[in-house]
Structure 1
């Protein structure tokens, strides 16, 4: 079972020390250990850490990329917020 994160919790994971988490289509991904492997370089992953990177991700990647790395990097999902 995957863990549920709030957007605020993900936002705390934006440094090497705290870990680098990003959101893609409601999934939470820990890219801390992937930074050096990323073909596009580490800069973009560090810039998107703690944020929803969905728009940027889909601009440069296909669904195959997410499928390939999802099992290894996905740590949970974003909790649904109560709608008032």
Structure 2
């Protein structure tokens, strides 16, 4: 919270019947809380970097699954062909 907003907040409290010293303490405390919250907010750059990282991880995982299914499919196909040849009537 910048000083202009803090002053407006303090004046609003004083107009509402809060003692000036108390109004100043409230304004200062609220300013500290808002500064802390602002530091914790996600920025566009952070969100973009996070999405990019998640996308990379997703691509790697997708390739792993595709390779696994390729190996499984090939194994099943070879096993089926061998079974057909073995049990084919002669």
Q: TM-score, normalised by structure 1?
A: 0.27
Which structure carries more strand by proportion? Answer: 1
Q: Flag the structure with more relative contact order, 1 or 2, with Cα contacts below 8 A and sequence separation at least 6.
A: 1
